[in-house]
Amino acid sequence: MKPLLCFVVAAGLTAYTTFTEKDFVSSNTGFAQRQLKHMLKETEMRDSLAFPRTTDAAGKMTTTSMYDWTPGFFAGSLWYGYELTKDPALQQQALRWTEKLQPLQYFTQHHDLGFMMYCSYGNAYRLTGNKAYRDVLVQGARSLSTRYNPVTKSIKSWNAFKSWHGEQLYRYPVIIDNLMNLELLFFASRETGDTSFRHIAVSHAEAAMRNQIRPDYSSYHVVCYDTINGKVLARETAQGYADNSTWARGQAWGIYGFTMIYRETKEARFLKTAAGMADWYLNSKNLPKDKVPYWDFNAEEKGYTPGVRSNTLKVKTKYRDVSAAAIVASALFELSGYVDANKGAKYRQAAIEMLHTLGSPAYRAQEGANGNFILMHSVGSIPHNNEIDVPLVYADYYFMEALQRYKQSLGIF
């Protein structure tokens, strides 16, 4: 969520001129601003505590309660909309949608407090400096910390996870997505001076590096722990194709997560992991030319077998997941500033190409269509037969974040 200050000279803008890039940024910014306003109109006709998430079969916006994992992304998108345009109407709505989430600071039922609070209140505090928002974030970090266990050295993601292979129920599942929630803990540690938040974040990151990342830097989605001895009981998938496959959004969370963890710790081992995961992603023979991944890098590949209960067995189409591409594009803008110049230029160029692809008619919606979301063609979870080839609020959030990072790096304010 951090804004990035890079220099145009480090840009590696081989294929694009700064002039056309300014046009690109401004046209996508204008589009996002208009779609957000259309969506705000639509929300006025709904329950005030219904948070935009995706669309139904008829292409109409659907929503969730604030206790799902995604309520913070709409407020966060409004904050990026405001930051990109300085439109006071967007700021006013961003404040409104952020403050609806105030009760979440005491929520402890799953691990997603980082997504829920840092994308909303985190951006609110960053852009307004209002100390009341800082206090909500610190309380949110306290709530998240209750899910940490020193035996597993990890934060419990969900209270239970049922294997796709049968009836086995695991009571301490940790998913790779959880890395993203650590940003809230690093923030709270900095703000309060209480190092226990940071200790939990680093300990969780180390366990993920040890148990969740494979030697070739691809990733497992779910690692299940034994709380008596801290041992790994199983490595499976919940939203990916198979246990040994690489779920595209999981890899994206890993790239973004370890980049953020390196920013917060400056420890080389985390940078090595972030870059290793990014290289694996960018160099995969299964990454399509336009760099928008299939929902799983190994979908339909020999040697990968879905669990018997997974809906994946019924889906033969290799859908793309735009949300993964948006997350990776944003992460690569940041990562490009932490590695040597050659690698940095490569990451930055890839991020720029991804942004252009996402902003093209292949993936960007027509104004007023797509339930007023910006991007089309994401996947929530094929194994659960849920949200297949749809817009998703978090795809839009990370696209706007990437756009803001790019804009700032071009020196356009």
Q: Summarize the annotated binding site for substrate as residue ranges.
A: 112, 177, 237, 249, 253, 381
Active site residue 396: no
- Find the shortest distance in angstroms from Cβ 290 to ligand GLY: 21
Complex with ligand GLY: residue 40 or 104, whichever CB lies closer: 104
Q: How many angstroms separate the first and last alpha carbons of the chain?
A: 17
- As annotated, the binding site includes 112, 177, 237, 249, 253, 381
Complex with ligand GLY: residue 177 or 296, whichever CB lies closer: 177
Complex with ligand GLY: residue 249 or 263, whichever CB lies closer: 249
At position 341, the amino acid (one-letter code) is A
Q: Is residue 69 close enough to count as binding ligand GLY by CB under 6 A?
A: yes
- Find the shortest distance in angstroms from Cβ 17 to ligand GLY: 36
Q: Which one, of 300, 387, 229, 332, lies nearest residue 11 by Cα?
A: 332
Q: Which residue's C-beta sits nearest to ligand GLY? A: 177
- Find the shortest distance in angstroms from Cβ 360 to ligand GLY: 24
How many C-beta atoms surround the C-beta of residue 14 within 10 A? 8
Complex with ligand GLY: residue 83 or 177, whichever CB lies closer: 177
- Find the shortest distance in angstroms from Cβ 411 to ligand GLY: 33
Q: Which one, of 21, 87, 1, 20, lies nearest residue 409 by Cα?
A: 21
Output phi, psi for 296, to 5 deg: -140, 135
- Total number of residues binding ligand GLY (CB under 6 A)? 4
Site string for ligand GLY, 31-60 (x = CB under 6 A): ------------------------------
Q: Is residue 396 close enough to count as binding ligand GLY by CB under 6 A?
A: no
- Using the Cα atoms of residue 153, residue 155, residue 157 and residue 158 in order, give the sign of their dihedral: positive
Complex with ligand GLY: residue 117 or 352, whichever CB lies closer: 117
Instruction: Convert 157-176 to b/e letters by CB count within 10 Å (16 or more is b).
Output: bbeebbbbeeeeebebbbbb
Interface residue with ligand GLY, options 110, 249, 348, 364 (CB under 6 A): 249
Site string for ligand GLY, 279-308 (x = CB under 6 A): ------------------------------
Q: Which one, of 299, 262, 272, lies nearest residue 284 by Cα?
A: 299
- Find the shortest distance in angstroms from Cβ 14 to ligand GLY: 33
Catalytic residue among 23, 47, 177, 290: 177
For 215, half-sphere exposure in the C-beta direction (CA atoms, 13 angstrom radius) is: 0
Catalytic residue among 23, 56, 112, 135: 112
Q: Which one, of 250, 196, 203, 253, lies nearest residue 230 by Cα?
A: 203
Interface residue with ligand GLY, options 239, 259, 312, 330 (CB under 6 A): 239
CA distance 119 to 91: 14
Site string for ligand GLY, 143-182 (x = CB under 6 A): ----------------------------------x-----
- Find the shortest distance in angstroms from Cβ 321 to ligand GLY: 10
Q: Which one, of 377, 396, 325, 327, lies nearest residue 53 by Cα?
A: 396
Give me the helices (H) in 241-320, please. Answer: 248-265, 268-283
| Residues 6+ positions from 237 with CB-CB distance below 8 Å | 164, 220, 221, 222, 243, 245, 247, 307, 383
Q: Which one, of 282, 237, 278, lies nearest residue 259 by Cα?
A: 278
Active site residue 290: no
Q: Is residue 236 close enough to count as binding ligand GLY by CB under 6 A?
A: no
Complex with ligand GLY: residue 393 or 403, whichever CB lies closer: 393
Provide the annotated active-site residues.
Answer: 112, 177
List residues near ligand GLY by CB under 6 A.
69, 177, 239, 249
